[in-house]
């Protein structure tokens, strides 16, 4: 019966039989995963740090905490472009070929109904967009330059709109 009782005791014990095995199991089950997590966090966040001697830390800090939006002043002192220059740079891509239903340059029949809506309506359509045409306002050209391009385009198709003059700053005129 001793043989039978020793088999019965072995079947009811777990894989941990000594305190050393218990300590190893605790280490592998709790401490090792925590160390792995700390190592991964350190590895992932290390890319955000500056390498020693790699530039100005104040500049790097200001780039990291900058606001979401930016204002860029480009060509603030450049001379305004003419309506023809704006047309060639921005409008001709669609209006020269009639792409996506755009009325072609010089097509009196396609422009007749649009011209009757008036210059202001045409300018608003150009600035805000209409149908397949994207809004042209807020891009590389000022609203006055876009209006000049509208006048150039419409006048080539039978209109007689006055070309708008750019606003002159009093401090620049002196």
Same domain flag for 111 and 136: yes
Is 22 within the bounds of a domain?
A: yes
Is 143 within the bounds of a domain?
A: yes
* Full-model pTM: 0.53
- Give the per-residue pLDDT at 35: 93
Asked if residue 7 has pLDDT above 60, the reply is no
The Cα-based distances of 135 to 2, 42, 45, 66, 78 in angstroms read 94, 47, 41, 29, 23
For residue 83, the tally of other CB atoms under 10 A from its CB is 24
- Give the per-residue pLDDT at 39: 93
Same domain flag for 44 and 96: no
Q: Output the average pLDDT for the chain.
A: 78
Of 6, 37, 70, which residue is a domain's last? 70
Asked if residue 88 has pLDDT above 80, the reply is yes
Domain holding 143: CATH number?
1.10.760.10
Task: List pLDDT tens digits, range 113-163.
Answer: 888 888 888 888 888 888 878 888 777 788 888 888 888 888 888 877 888
Of 70, 93, 108, which residue is a domain's last? 70
Question: Which tops the pLDDT comparison, 52 or 118?
Answer: 118
- Give the per-residue pLDDT at 10: 59
Same domain flag for 66 and 91: no
What is the DSSP-derived secondary structure letter of residue 46?
G
Domain holding 57, by residue range, is 17-70
What is the DSSP-derived secondary structure letter of residue 78?
S
Question: Which tops the pLDDT comparison, 171 or 58?
Answer: 58
- Give the per-residue pLDDT at 135: 82
Same domain flag for 102 and 158: yes
**Which long-range contacts link 134-137 to residues 24+ away (Cβ below 8 Å)?**
136/90, 136/91
Q: How many domains does the chain have?
A: 2
Please name the helix (run of DSSP H) or strand (run of DSSP E) that holds residue 6, with its range, or none: helix 2-11
Is 3 within the bounds of a domain?
A: no
- Give the per-residue pLDDT at 75: 64
CA dihedral (137, 118, 96, 141) in degrees, to 10, reads: -20
CA atoms within 13 A on the CB side of 154: 25
**Cα–chain-centroid distance for residue 89?**
23
Same domain flag for 142 and 100: yes
Asked if residue 172 has pLDDT above 50, the reply is no
């Amino acid at each position: 019966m001793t043989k039978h009782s020793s088999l019965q005791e072995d079947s009811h014990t777990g894989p941990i039989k000594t305190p050393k095995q218990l300590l190893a199991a605790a280490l592998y089950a709790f401490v090792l995963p925590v160390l792995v997590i700390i190592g991964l966090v350190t590895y992932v966040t290390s890319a955000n740090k500056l390498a020693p001697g790699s530039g100005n830390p104040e500049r790097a800090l200001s780039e990291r905490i900058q606001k979401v939006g930016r204002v860029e002043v480009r060509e603030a002192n450049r001379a305004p472009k003419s309506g023809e220059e704006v047309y060639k740079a921005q409008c001709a891509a669609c209006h020269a070929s009639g792409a996506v239903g755009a009325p072609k340059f010089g097509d009196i029949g396609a422009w007749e109904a649009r011209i009757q809506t008036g210059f202001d309506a045409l300018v608003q359509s150009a600035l805000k967009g209409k149908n397949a045409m994207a809004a042209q306002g807020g891009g590389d050209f000022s609203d006055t330059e876009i209006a000049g391009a509208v006048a150039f385009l419409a006048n080539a198709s039978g209109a007689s709109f006055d070309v708008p003059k750019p606003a002159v700053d009093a401090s620049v005129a002196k």
